[in-house]
């Protein structure tokens, strides 16, 4: 476990996962192997992990919870709720970004329309000035 923690602390999540996977194979079916599955799920749920994918983290935690008598049921449940919350926040952020982009596009279109209208008005004023400015002989 110390090697796993050292690897995770130094950002080597793949190494930490490999150590835990090897342990699970050696200790298959034991309570310690189930504990190892919990820590693998936690590593997958860590946003610092370059391979972080919320859906994969969720599946790992759910698989851990499906094991008989998981010791860290409460912690795993909390992490699932945290992932749900993070997903909700990402969705809200994406909706806000989309809304802001739509608002910016609409504003840009309105500004362009106003510029076009101004150019047409200036062109019309120039035509009127020319007609009024040169007297007939």
* Residue 114 binned pLDDT confidence (cut-offs 50, 70, 90): very high
Mean pLDDT of 11-28: 90
| Phi, psi torsion values for 51, nearest 5 degrees | -95, 15
The residues, ordered by sequence, that sit 6+ positions from 52 with a Cβ below 8 Å of its Cβ are 44, 45, 46
pTM, entire model: 0.63
pLDDT of 32 over the 90 cut: no
Lowest-pLDDT choice from 76-80, 81-85, 122-126, 132-136: 132-136
pLDDT of 137 over the 80 cut: no
Q: Which long-range contacts (CB under 8 A, 24 or more apart) does 90-99 make?
A: none
Burial class (CB in 10 A: 0-12, 13-18, 19+), 12: middle
pLDDT at residue 111, rounded to an integer: 96
Percent of the chain surpassing pLDDT 90? 50
pLDDT of 77 over the 70 cut: yes
pLDDT at residue 135, rounded to an integer: 65
């Amino acid at each position: 476990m110390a090697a796993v923690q050292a690897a995770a602390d130094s950002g080597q999540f793949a190494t930490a996962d490999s150590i835990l996977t090897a342990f699970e194979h050696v200790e298959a079916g034991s309570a310690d192997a189930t504990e190892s599955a919990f820590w693998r799920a936690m590593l997958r749920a860590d946003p610092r992990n370059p391979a972080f994918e919320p859906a994969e983290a969720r599946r790992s935690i759910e698989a851990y919870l499906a094991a008989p008598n998981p010791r860290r049921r409460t912690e795993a449940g909390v992490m699932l709720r945290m992932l749900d919350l993070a997903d909700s926040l990402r969705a809200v952020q994406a909706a806000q970004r989309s809304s802001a982009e739509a608002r910016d596009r609409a504003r840009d279109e309105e500004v362009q329309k106003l510029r076009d209208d101004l150019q047409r008005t200036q062109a019309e004023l120039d035509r009127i000035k020319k007609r009024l400015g040169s007297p007939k002989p």
